Amino acid sequence: MELTIFIIAFCYIQRTLCFDATLYKFPNDFSFGVATSAYQIEGAWNVSGKGYSYWDYITHEVKVVVEDGSTGDVACDSYHKTDVDIALLKRLGVNHYRFSIAWTRIYPTGMINNISRDGIAYYDNLINKLLDAGIKPWVTIYHWDHPYGIQRLGGWFQPKMADYIADYADLLFKLYGDRVKTWITINEPYSLCVNAINVMAYIPKGFAEYMCGQNVLRAHVAIWRVYQKYRSTQNGKLSMAFNVQAHFPATDSPADIEAAERLNQFAFGWFVNPVVHGNYPKVMIDTIASYSEKQGFKESRLPPLSPEDLADLKGSCDFIGLNTYDVYLVSSNNGTVDVNPSYSNDCGANIIDPNWNVSYAIHMKAKGLGVLLNWIKKNYNNPEVRITEQGYWEDARNVFDFDRSAYIVANTAQMLKSIYKDKVNLTAYSYWSFMDNFEWNKGYIRKYGLIDVDFKDPTRKRRLKLSAGTFSTIASNRKLI
Ligand SMILES: *[C@@H]1O[C@H](CO)[C@@H](O)[C@H](O)[C@H]1NC(C)=O
Ligand SMILES: *[C@@H]1O[C@H](CO)[C@@H](O)[C@H](O)[C@H]1NC(C)=O
Ligand SMILES: *[C@@H]1O[C@H](CO)[C@@H](O)[C@H](O)[C@H]1NC(C)=O
Ligand SMILES: *[C@@H]1O[C@H](CO)[C@@H](O)[C@H](O)[C@H]1NC(C)=O
Ligand SMILES: *[C@@H]1O[C@H](CO)[C@@H](O)[C@H](O)[C@H]1NC(C)=O
């Protein structure tokens, strides 16, 4: 009841956004869910034969990368709390739950001679219990936590990564594909190949990103090829969880408008163009080739994909998985070619902090989602789109999270508009995150959850936030009010 009043009050304040949306209801098959990943919630880093992962290494040995010096050793202890977590998912009223499988729980070393029966049983039980609760499991095959041994071989710079990940995916399809019908091959290829490389010292910038991207695309298509063996019997759908922010030009100048478009192509088109259209975006191919030449290189820093990979990549996703959080204002750098190559220089765009107040930022984030969905519809032939992540962060524990609730309301209104007015084929929404968790370089500082977790309490006590009520009301009513 109070919640309805809150939503009406919010819609009044943001009336341009909510006004029409209150007339519509989500389609019956629209799927509401929440998302997590293994390293961020499971803990139990050293139990039941689990192997040492890249993120075990980062948190134990590199350390400086994580702002609060924390680890995922225990995290939310979800590995030991399957029943508690499923009860909470039921309270949220989700249709699906997106989680990831820890590669090191299945193949501890990443090599196929060493299989962990306990790890296999853990996910088997999780999947069965979700289905018993009426919740569809959406499984991310790779969410950044590859075996550390594979990192020693170069990780995403090792061309055989595609073979290793395809072997691992093959076993997952064999084990769980009878029950799992949505597979995300790789989470956030952009973050994996840009943000992760930004923090690596001595790595050649403006090369490493594209080399990683090439191997990520090879890995995706290798998994896709493996799935063809199972497709006719299992009938699941595959995609990556592509990530991009909404890019608004900082001014009305043609140069800034072009820069925002170019950034969409560099950040999103980089991975989506190959899997939809069968190659990198033309603006990337041309720009990087021309900059590389001006910088004195023998060949383009963007390594080409092989004709076989390109042919198989084209059409290698059954829907577009979209992770999106924010809005960036973008201005042109006027084509300045830096002596030292970098991905950001190749993009030709500067990102400006808009410095908006909270309520305006929430309004603009929702608007940005609408703009992005239209852009995807136009550029990729009106594909099915599923939001695989979207969420709101705060840097402190806060159970009365009005801003996060407002964000969910604003984005719900926008999704209804996108579906009914813009005719975007949006079929699912996954809020990130189910609960507060280990947020990579932000450790336990950054909170995205609908559920608060007390990380000082050995039992990792969970508590529903206000936003959990907002989310579950919308998910169960399947409309805004
Ligand atoms: C596993 O990790 C926990 C938590 O970090 C630690 O307390 C425990 O001693 C470790 N167990 C083994 C067998 O290494
Ligand atoms: C499998 O991997 C685990 C974890 O790295 C290791 O302790 C074990 O010795 C390995 N077993 C085989 C047969 O390689
Ligand atoms: C790009 O050119 C415009 C118009 O000449 C100018 O206002 C702007 O400051 C330039 N930006 C950069 C990053 O050089
Ligand atoms: C927030 O920013 C918007 C846009 O600049 C402005 O219209 C609004 O008055 C601001 N609200 C507050 C509370 O400062
Ligand atoms: C949306 O995509 C789904 C899955 O591909 C398809 O079944 C459905 O017909 C599409 N709906 C529209 C309105 O295009």
- Residue whose CA is at the smallest distance from ligand 1 atom 2: 46
Q: In this structure, is residue 402 part of a structural domain?
A: no
Residue nearest to atom 11 of ligand 5 (CA): 425
Quick check: is 391 in a domain? no
Distance 115 CA to ligand 1 centre (A): 21
Active site (annotated) includes residue 394: no
Q: Is residue 334 part of a domain?
A: yes
**Ligand 3 pocket check for 338: Cβ under 6 Å:** no
What is the residue with the minimal CA distance to atom 4 of ligand 1? 73
- Name the pTM for this structure: 0.96
> What is the distance between the alpha carbons of residues 165 and 106, in angstroms, rounded to a whole number?
12
Would you state the structure tokens that stand for residue 282, as one six-digit string?
Answer: 């033309």
In angstroms, what is the span from residue 410 Cα to ligand 4's centroid? 16
Q: Is residue 57 part of a domain?
A: yes
pLDDT of residue 1: 46
Catalytic residue among 42, 188, 209, 261: 188
Q: Assess whether the C-beta atom of 73 lies below 6 angstroms from ligand 1.
A: yes
Residue 436 CA to ligand 1 center (angstroms) comes to: 23
Q: How many domains does the chain have?
A: 1
Is 293 a known active-site residue? no
Within a domain: 28? no
Judged by its nearest atom, the ligand closest to the C-alpha of residue 336 is 3
Instruction: Note whether residue 324 is domain-resident.
Output: yes
Ligand 5 atom nearest to CA at 319:
5
**Integer Cα distance of 400 and 409 in angstroms:** 15
Q: What tens-digit pLDDT sequence spans the chain (481 residues)?
A: 456 656 666 665 565 556 677 789 999 999 999 999 999 999 999 999 999 999 999 999 998 899 999 999 999 999 999 999 999 999 999 999 999 999 999 999 999 999 999 999 999 999 999 999 999 999 999 999 999 999 999 999 999 999 999 999 999 999 999 999 999 999 999 999 999 888 788 999 999 999 999 999 999 999 999 999 999 999 999 999 999 999 999 999 999 999 999 999 999 999 999 999 999 999 999 999 999 999 999 999 999 999 999 999 999 999 999 999 999 999 999 999 999 999 999 999 999 989 999 999 999 999 999 999 999 999 999 999 999 999 999 999 999 999 999 999 999 999 999 999 999 999 999 999 999 999 999 999 999 999 999 999 999 999 999 999 999 999 999 998 7
CA of 116 to the centre of ligand 2 (A): 9
Model pLDDT, residue 480 = 86
- Enclosing domain of residue 222: 38-67+84-380+411-423
Is 399 a domain residue? no
For residue 208, the domain's CATH number is: 3.20.20.80
Any domain includes 250: yes
Residue whose Cα lies nearest atom 9 of ligand 2: it is 114
